[in-house]
């Protein structure tokens, strides 16, 4: 689809990073001779109207945050019949849901840290009994958020309660995961091809990548290949396609555990995926072209179903007199 009009979807829940990634992708595709236009999405923007007005042939997802990760935009693109980059609706949703990801990892014999779940603030009252002999330290995460949002580490029961309250501010369902003392290696995959891995150090409390440490090649060649294979198996367990990042814990005791599969890794300048792609010979333009050329619909029908958005009625203006009040 080299002659296709590519709509680069920009924005999302993290607008600053989304703008940076989107602008870089638009520039890279145009530099490569492709017809690329920015399509801005986010709070206050009618997504259906924006896509219809752009009249694009395929969508390049350069969004940041849950708007791209949870599968909703992908589902809309499937309905509109617009091929898009990255993973399917189902794969995106499964990867964001840490509980379902772990269940699929276990089904496919992909090792992941031991865990249990809590649902709702009412569960905090009996946390001592629920936690039992699970032990400390632990890592507490919202069930359906990005890999670092609302994540904290707890070493005592008091800290655990505080971490649970913090996580429940993002999602009433949370994961309590055994802390594994290990190095963290991120494995990059592009269109089914494993590109490589880099070692990352985490910020205080386990929140966010704070620095890139020595490359994963510091590991023995045999173990490094095993880690790359584990990342590939984890992505396959969720049927993830396109650009994918898999976070793996690597212990001193020769054990590895998969933490997350990110079906929408950032393409912002300096992000891990572009850096890892560059290590194997993909300049940023080549990376964007490879992602764009793999765009597709994941449903059985590839026929475009146009939606005449112009005929949709305007939403009524809500005023204090017309607002529905819910007790």
Sorted by where each starts, the structural domains of the chain and their CATH numbers stand as 5-86+296-311 (3.40.50.20), 114-178 (3.30.1490.20), 181-263 (3.30.470.20)
Note whether 141 and 98 are within 8 A (CB).
yes
Given a cut of 50, whether residue 103 has pLDDT beyond it is: yes
Task: Please compute the mean of the pLDDT values over residues 60-84 and round it to a whole number.
Answer: 91
Containing 116, the helix (H) or strand (E) segment is strand 115-119
What was the pLDDT predicted at 236? 98
Strand order in the sheet with 138-142: 115-119, 173-178, 138-142, 152-154
Name 161's Cβ contacts closer than 8 Å, sequence gap at least 6. 124, 127
Given a cut of 60, whether residue 327 has pLDDT beyond it is: no
| Residue from 120, 111, 112 nearest 142 by CA | 120
CA distance 241 to 238: 9
Given a cut of 80, whether residue 179 has pLDDT beyond it is: yes
What was the pLDDT predicted at 68? 77
What was the pLDDT predicted at 223? 93
* Residue 233 in tokens: 């198996």
Containing 244, the helix (H) or strand (E) segment is strand 243-250
* Residue 45 in tokens: 């923007």
CA distance 91 to 263: 8
Name 90's Cβ contacts closer than 8 Å, sequence gap at least 6. 71, 239
- Global pTM? 0.87
Q: What percent of the chain has pLDDT over 90?
A: 69
pLDDT digits (tens, 9 = 90+) for 6-46: 999 998 655 555 588 999 999 999 999 999 999 999 888 99
* Residue 23 in tokens: 């602008």
| DSSP assigned state of 152 | E
pLDDT digits (tens, 9 = 90+) for 219-234: 888 999 999 999 999 9
């Amino acid at each position: 689809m080299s002659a296709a009009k590519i709509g680069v979807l920009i924005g999302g829940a993290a607008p600053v990073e989304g703008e940076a990634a989107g602008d870089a992708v638009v520039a890279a595709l145009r530099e490569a001779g492709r017809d690329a236009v920015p399509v801005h999405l986010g709070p206050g923007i009618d997504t259906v109207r924006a896509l219809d007005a752009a009249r694009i042939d395929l969508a390049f997802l350069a969004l940041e945050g849950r708007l791209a990760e949870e599968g909703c935009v992908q589902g809309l693109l499937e309905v509109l019949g617009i091929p898009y980059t990255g993973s399917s609706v189902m794969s995106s949703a499964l990867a964001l849901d840490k509980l379902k990801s772990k269940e699929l990892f276990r089904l496919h014999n992909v090792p992941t840290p031991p865990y249990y779940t809590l649902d709702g603030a009412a569960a905090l009252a009996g946390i001592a009994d629920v936690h039992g002999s699970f032990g400390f330290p632990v890592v507490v995460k919202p069930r359906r958020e990005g890999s670092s949002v609302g994540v904290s580490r707890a070493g005592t029961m008091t800290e655990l309660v505080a971490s649970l309250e913090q996580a429940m501010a993002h999602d009433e369902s949370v994961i309590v995961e055994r802390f594994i003392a290990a190095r963290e290696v991120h494995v990059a995959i592009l269109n089914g091809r494993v590109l490589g891995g880099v070692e990352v150090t985490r910020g205080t409390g386990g929140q966010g990548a704070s620095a890139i440490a020595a490359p994963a090649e510091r590991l023995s060649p045999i173990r490094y290949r095993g880690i790359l294979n584990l990342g590939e198996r984890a992505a396959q367990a969720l049927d993830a396609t396109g650009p994918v990042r898999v976070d793996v814990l690597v212990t001193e005791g020769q054990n590895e555990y998969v933490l997350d599969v990110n079906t929408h890794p950032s393409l912002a300048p300096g992000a891990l995926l572009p850096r890892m792609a560059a290590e194997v010979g993909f300049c940023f333009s080549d990376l964007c072209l490879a992602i764009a050329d793999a765009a597709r619909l994941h449903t059985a029908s590839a026929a475009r179903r146009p939606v005449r958005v112009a005929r949709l009625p305007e939403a009524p203006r809500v005023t204090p007199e017309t607002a529905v009040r819910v007790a």
